[in-house]
Amino acid sequence: MKLKQVTRISLFSAMIAVSVYLIPPIAVPVLNVSFTLQTLFIILIGFILAPLEAFLSVFIYVLIGAFGFPVFSGYRGGLSVLFGPTGGFIMMFPIVSLLISVFKSKKRLHMYNLMIGFIFGVVVLYLIANLWLSYSLSINYFASLSGLLIFIPFDIVKLLLAYFIYLRIPKEIYT
């Protein structure tokens, strides 16, 4: 792996960690899930980086949090967060970035890329992460999923913002 790749991976890991501090988490009381900017950076990383770089940068972020550094929502860290209600989302983040990176259009087909971002960054993330959320809270899968619906408009805005940022970054920076 080249120094440029290692630098990109490290930089984007740090960006996700810092994103938690940009706005305070806004909690939804029943589900114990907060609104954060993490998803924006997870999607952005998928658009910008190559598949392996995208996966590694987000995986390193998850690993840093697992070791106890306060990089997760609510300025928390440790394995207790990964095994808590939001752990399914956090564990899915590297996979989501990887899938967006693998399936994005190299020709920047805007509608296609936005659909890829929505399918993996919202639909797949919610459907799979909700398995852990509903299990950890001991509530019905569909009840917890319906509680997450409030986040979808915000995640669509984050997707659009991530894609806009991706389009504004010169290709030379990440190629």
The domain that contains 91 carries what CATH number?
1.10.1760.20
34 or 152, which is more confident: 152
Mean pLDDT of the region 53-76: 95
Q: Which residues pair with 34 in a beta bridge?
A: 27
**Which residue range(s) make up the domain with 77?**
3-174
Give residue for tokens 């190629």. 175
Position 175 pLDDT exceeds 70? no
Asked if 132 and 87 count as a contact pair (C-beta separation under 8 A), the reply is yes
Domain count, the chain: 1
The rounded distance, in Å, linking the Cα atoms of 148 and 128 is 12
Per-residue confidence band for 28, with pLDDT thresholds at 50, 70 and 90 = low
**pLDDT tens digits for 87-140?**
999 999 999 999 999 999 988 899 999 999 999 999 999 999 999 999 999 999
Give residue for tokens 């990383």. 45
The rounded distance, in Å, linking the Cα atoms of 73 and 3 is 30
Q: Which amino acid is at 117?
A: G
Mean pLDDT of the region 43-49: 97
pTM of the model: 0.92
108 or 60, which is more confident: 60
Per-residue confidence band for 30, with pLDDT thresholds at 50, 70 and 90 = low
- What percentage of the chain has pLDDT greater than the value 70? 96
Q: Which residues pair with 27 in a beta bridge?
A: 34
